[in-house]
Structure 1
């Protein structure tokens, strides 16, 4: 048994749901592979793509969970109580996870380490780094490099496979980013704006040359104030924004007020904090970012000349 597994037994004073670590019959898998524990499904999928068959990957939060406000409960069933590596996003995303990391002896890697940060500019979160760095394909490539390096330290015999998997994955990310930038050429410059419920798209907007606006900065506070809604309405009207969007893990009620007041189209649902089930629209991170790019392009270009 790898030396770090015992440390993560102390990591779980509260039972957690750890997806992906059970065999088909429901019993815990015992294949002797190192176990990598991630905080949410996006990181788990990235890690699985880089790791291939050489490790087992677990996600603490379930598919569809809202990562910001996640609270471990006794209902969570501990399906994997040991790990050899812990990977989280950092940037304040998983404040609830800090107590577990501090009590563990397992190596801990912050996937966002090295990205060029954007600070939140509004409300109580102003000045803090925007934690949604994975929502940029360019930043996701940094995540992939960090994951590959961590996996190589964990299992150096498979370093070549990790590197090859990472390179192939980054090539797909680059293609998605190019599709977004090229597709936006059809949108008049004055209308190149991305209006969402949560401020989760700052990095994607920066990479694509979009001006970002949102109703609230972080999903930890989902109750929109009248002023926040009024500000969004004013921006959409002043810039003739053709479409607005909302994330899958929150109510779109506030955004629908913007739609009713401005006549903008509701462009669709965007995915950020969680993947879907295997038969859903975004079962992998690449599916998630492709879906969001296609939805944004369809919404913003629908009325373009």
Structure 2
């Protein structure tokens, strides 16, 4: 069962800001139909991947919003006043936990909203280098196995919020979990046939530890967690040495960060820069990864094509 805890403890200044924005929103909405007219519970997710999962499980019984927009870098996101207004009005807040949303608790500590940490119960891997060494690697959703656990936690949180929807949430979660399991099987088939010499995944951020574990891939990266110290000379030199020593055919970078350091690695080693991978954010509707399932499928195709030169 995911944690349910009060959130968003507000300082007097923050209370004043919230009140001012609430009054402004009310004034702007007079005489118009607004989202506040929707009687369904408001579920607020910290980023787009969790929001997509919550929509799949919640169906039409809840309205789901993401604090961060598609394409946003979530580690050091800076909430705006509108985020605080939405947080104050939410019925349930879903966060990843594992230290991912470092910005979240700095700004929001207490509200009337329930909250649930959707990574609860996941078998956690540690970060193995850098400032956050030995802390949990937060990118557990990149493993379909862990993704199923996320779905179960979201289901339980929605049932606690809205007991009358138990049957709906349970059925939706079962259907969705089976889809995630199937994607996991497809991933293993897509990447499982890679030769031993090509089973190394080199990325900008160390966001693929869980997927690499599931698929038996050796993992290397420029920096362990997105931060201000990205692409330092030492990080670049170490990654160049790894790529050369292991004859890695291709390197990758995540869509939400600057890829210039990884392109330097590719240029100096002769490895291909094989295109962006998606981790921390979905794309806009109509983009390459509008859903969590498509994010996993897209990354599997890009990794497999990169490591085999597109010949499989």
TM score, norm. by length of structure 1: 0.89
Q: Secondary structure at the match of 2:305?
A: helix
Q: Secondary structure at the match of 2:40?
A: coil
Asked if 1:270 corresponds to 2:277, the answer is: yes
| Map of 1:164 onto structure 2 | 171
Asked if 1:55 corresponds to 2:62, the answer is: yes
| Map of 2:110 onto structure 1 | 103
Residue 192 (structure 2) aligned to one of 185, 190, 197: 185
> Which sits farther off after the overlay, 27-36 or 153-162?
27-36
Q: How much is the aligned-residue C-alpha RMSD, in angstroms? A: 2.6
| Map of 1:19 onto structure 2 | none
Asked if 1:228 corresponds to 2:235, the answer is: yes
| Map of 1:142 onto structure 2 | 149
Superposition deviation, residue 7 in structure 1: 8.1
Asked if 1:46 corresponds to 2:60, the answer is: no
Residue 153 (structure 1) aligned to one of 128, 136, 160: 160
Superposition deviation, residue 102 in structure 1: 2.4
Q: Kindly tell me: are residues 190 and 222 of structure 1, through their superposed partners in 2, closer, same or farther at Cα, counting changes over 3 Å?
A: same
Is the CA contact 2:8–2:109 (under 8 Å) kept in the aligned structure 1?
A: no
Superposition deviation, residue 9 in structure 1: 10
Is the CA contact 2:71–2:281 (under 8 Å) kept in the aligned structure 1?
A: yes
Distance 2:107 2:61 in 1: 25
| Map of 2:268 onto structure 1 | 261
| Map of 1:285 onto structure 2 | 292
Distance 2:264 2:220 in 1: 15
| Map of 2:126 onto structure 1 | 119
Superposition deviation, residue 80 in structure 1: 7.0
Is the CA contact 1:242–1:299 (under 8 Å) kept in the aligned structure 2?
A: yes
> Which sits farther off after the overlay, 285-294 or 44-53?
285-294
5+ residue gaps, structure 1, are 17-21
Q: How many aligned residue pairs are there? A: 294
5+ residue gaps, structure 2, are 22-28
> Which sits farther off after the overlay, 102-111 or 66-75?
66-75
Q: Kindly tell me: are residues 288 and 185 of structure 1, through their superposed partners in 2, closer, same or farther at Cα, counting changes over 3 Å?
A: closer
Superposition deviation, residue 147 in structure 1: 0.2
Superposition deviation, residue 161 in structure 1: 1.2
TM score, norm. by length of structure 2: 0.87
Asked if 1:214 corresponds to 2:230, the answer is: no
Residue 43 (structure 2) aligned to one of 32, 36, 40: 36
Asked if 1:196 corresponds to 2:218, the answer is: no
